[in-house]
Chain A
Amino acid sequence: MSNRLFGPLDPAPDAGWQDAPARKGFLTDTSICIGCKACEVACKEWNAIPEDGLSLLGSSYDNTGSLGASTWRHVAFIEQPMASTRATRPSVPVDLGMPSVGLRDAPQDPTSEQATSAQATDAQATDAQATTGKADFRWLMSSDVCKHCTHAACLDVCPTGSLFRTEFGTVVVQDDICNGCGYCVPACPFGVIERRTDDAARVDGSGLRTIVNKVKRVDKVPEKRVRDKNVGIAQKCTLCYDRLSAGNTPACAQACPTQSIQFGDVDELRERAQVRMEQLHAQGVPEARLYGADPGDGIGGAGAMFLLLDEPEVYGLPPDPVVTTKDLAAMWRKAGLAALAMLGGAAVSFLGGRS
């Protein structure tokens, strides 16, 4: 048992689980994602997550925006003209409000890796265009989720033990323990975990529902909505811990119509991802790449990995995430007192929380 905070390891045994089952995780193959958002709904429905805002974001078909306390699966939509389109369509003066669109904003330095990949793609697209009329435009979709890092900074900084490593190697918030301190929020290198805010503001005093952005009064239909649960505490994907314990597939993966979201043993998924990537390369999709599949990366590899069709930034993912607690052990040696104080604080908040 190493209890290491960096480098490859099997997280469940490392966290004291004896006879732990094989580590479980997701492989999200974005090359077959149809952007239907079944994952978002199935997740919410299973986990009873409240609705998360009713604004049109003007960002393609994405009105969810990002992962957060009340969104544990988020499908990103990236509208991406290939370079050949730029030649045939006039320049566009309107702001499309997209997340940064890779190829259009790609650096023009021909020595950069990204530009090279873009050129390769262009050549591919142009060739294909001439022979088969292949589209000169892409609409990328990808369902994002908590990465269930091998080295999970959220867990490392959690003073209460609310965030813990399960026997499946996943990282789960225990609602009954979390005191809402929020240390985990900035610790996450992906911006996944968040505290849930109070939803009460959405119901006015008369019991009538007010619609965000619309200010629309409705008939005298009583506001039957219960106050959202778990307000104030940290929330994120649990990889459906309760379903896993019962031997079931997480809700999102079960619903996914095209099996873009695949659930299974992380080791097996990693192999599958490699095979799929090589298959795509052979089919003339050189831009296919894996994300979170390398145990040698800054988080020791993710439990939820991705097959992407462009740079991670295009999907809103950090290109090279590093566990923010990489140096925590060294810091502890220098700041043992502070750590003790943190523990004391934890005890106080427990007692407060349970009174």
Chain B
Amino acid sequence: MDARKSFLSWPVMRQLTGTDRLGRGAAAKSAHTSALTARTETADRVVQSVCPYCAVGCGQRVFVKDGKVVQIEGDPDSPISRGRLCPKGSASEQLVNSPGRQTAMLYRRPFGTDWEPLDLETATDMVADRIIASRTAGWQDVDQNGRALRRTMGFAALGGATLDNEENYLIKKLFTALGAIQIENQARI
């Protein structure tokens, strides 16, 4: 940095030459401050979304820059929430960008004492194999009176209240076709 040039642009100099003789206002504004821009203004795009916490369904605006979420705030257009968010909704950006968020697949082998890495494709294959095996192990064709059950008690699921309708639809559809009936979510709790 050119110290001399920088010195001339110092607030002290501007204060002596401008309208702000005490150097508390216009003259004191730094170059850095002048360059400040709200990241809502510089975002590449704004995407309308819905808060993921409770069931009020507040509107959110998601600001995206370079493929990253840079800000999530209330959507003033929403007739439900009118742009407002509670503390949880206001923390949505942290939920998405949290440095502590677990973004790598992890595996714990039976009787293992710690996590191990595992690639996603292999993990999904392993789960598919286990579903088929447990489905068979827990299969019930008929009840004690010979009436059709056509189901498996070998595996179960819990969850769905935080998921999308489309996701729940696929879960229920797939599990029902497999004969799995023990599918539950928070609505029972």
Q: Give the number of A-B contacts (CB < 8 Å).
A: 142
Contact status A176-B26, CB under 8 Å? no
Q: How far is the CB of B60 from chain A (nearest CB, A)?
A: 11
B109 contacts the other chain (CB 8 A): no
Contact status A3-B26, CB under 8 Å? no
Q: How far is the CB of B8 from chain A (nearest CB, A)?
A: 13
CA distance A155 to B29 in the complex (A): 13
Contact status A45-B90, CB under 8 Å? yes
Q: How far is the CB of B113 from chain A (nearest CB, A)?
A: 12
CA distance A61 to B24 in the complex (A): 38
Q: Which residues of A contact B24 (CB under 8 A)?
A: 15-16, 155-156, 161, 163-165
**Which of chain A's residues 1-47 have a Cβ closer than 8 Å to chain B?**
1, 3, 12, 14-18, 36-38, 40-42, 45-46
**Which of chain A's residues 129-180 have a Cβ closer than 8 Å to chain B?**
155-156, 161-167, 172, 174-177
Q: Pick the contact of B71: A3, A40, A46, A346 (CB < 8 A).
A: A46
Beta-carbon contacts of A228-255 to B below 8 Å, as 1s and 0s?
Answer: 0000000000001111011010010011
CA distance A180 to B12 in the complex (A): 18
Contact status A16-B30, CB under 8 Å? no
CA distance A220 to B135 in the complex (A): 34
Contact status B19-A16, CB under 8 Å? yes
Q: Pick the contact of A41: B10, B28, B39, B87 (CB < 8 A).
A: B87
CA distance A220 to B20 in the complex (A): 55
Given contacts A16-B19, A254-B73, contact A177 B38 (CB under 8 A): no
Q: Pick the contact of A242: B10, B21, B38 (CB < 8 A).
A: B38
Contact status A174-B74, CB under 8 Å? no
Q: Which residues of B contact A15 (CB under 8 A)?
A: 20, 22, 24-26
CA distance A13 to B58 in the complex (A): 40
Which of A175, A219, A242 is packed against the most chain B CB atoms within 10 Å? A242
Contact status A16-B86, CB under 8 Å? no
Chain A residue nearest to B87 in the complex (CB):
A41
B18 contacts the other chain (CB 8 A): yes
B49 contacts the other chain (CB 8 A): no
Q: How far is the CB of B75 from chain A (nearest CB, A)?
A: 11
Contact status B3-A255, CB under 8 Å? no
Which of B12, B23, B25, B99 is packed against the most chain A CB atoms within 10 Å? B25
Q: Which residues of B contact A128 (CB under 8 A)?
A: none
Given contacts A17-B25, A38-B85, A161-B12, contact A219 B36 (CB under 8 A): no
Q: Pick the contact of B6: A3, A163, A354 (CB < 8 A).
A: A354
Given contacts A17-B25, A18-B19, A255-B74, contact A221 B85 (CB under 8 A): no
Contact status A3-B32, CB under 8 Å? no
Which of A16, A245, A248 is packed against the most chain B CB atoms within 10 Å? A16
Q: How far is the CB of A331 from chain B (nearest CB, A)?
A: 14
Chain A, interface size category, equals 35 or more
**Which of chain B's residues 47-78 have a Cβ closer than 8 Å to chain A?**
71, 73-74
A214 contacts the other chain (CB 8 A): no
CA distance A354 to B7 in the complex (A): 11
Q: Pick the contact of A3: B11, B21, B39, B93 (CB < 8 A).
A: B21
A350 contacts the other chain (CB 8 A): yes
Given contacts A12-B25, A17-B25, A38-B90, contact A257 B32 (CB under 8 A): no
Q: Which residues of B contact A156 (CB under 8 A)?
A: 24
A217 contacts the other chain (CB 8 A): no
A343 contacts the other chain (CB 8 A): yes
Those 10 A-B pairs whose CB atoms lie nearest each other, nearest first: A15-B25, A16-B20, A164-B28, A224-B99, A176-B32, A161-B28, A16-B19, A161-B11, A246-B38, A165-B25
The 28 listed contacts between A and B (C-beta, < 8 Å) are A12-B25, A14-B25, A15-B25, A16-B19, A16-B27, A17-B26, A36-B86, A36-B87, A42-B85, A42-B87, A45-B91, A161-B28, A164-B24, A164-B25, A164-B29, A165-B25, A166-B25, A174-B29, A174-B32, A177-B11, A221-B100, A224-B99, A225-B99, A242-B36, A243-B38, A248-B40, A257-B84, A350-B10
Chain B interface (Cβ < 8 Å from any Cβ of A): 1, 3, 6, 10-12, 15, 18-33, 36-41, 71, 73-74, 83-91, 93-94, 99-100, 102, 114-115
Contacts A16-B26, A38-B87 known; 15 new A-B pairs at CB < 8 A:
A14-B25, A38-B86, A41-B91, A42-B85, A163-B24, A164-B11, A167-B25, A221-B100, A224-B100, A225-B99, A225-B100, A241-B33, A243-B38, A245-B38, A255-B74
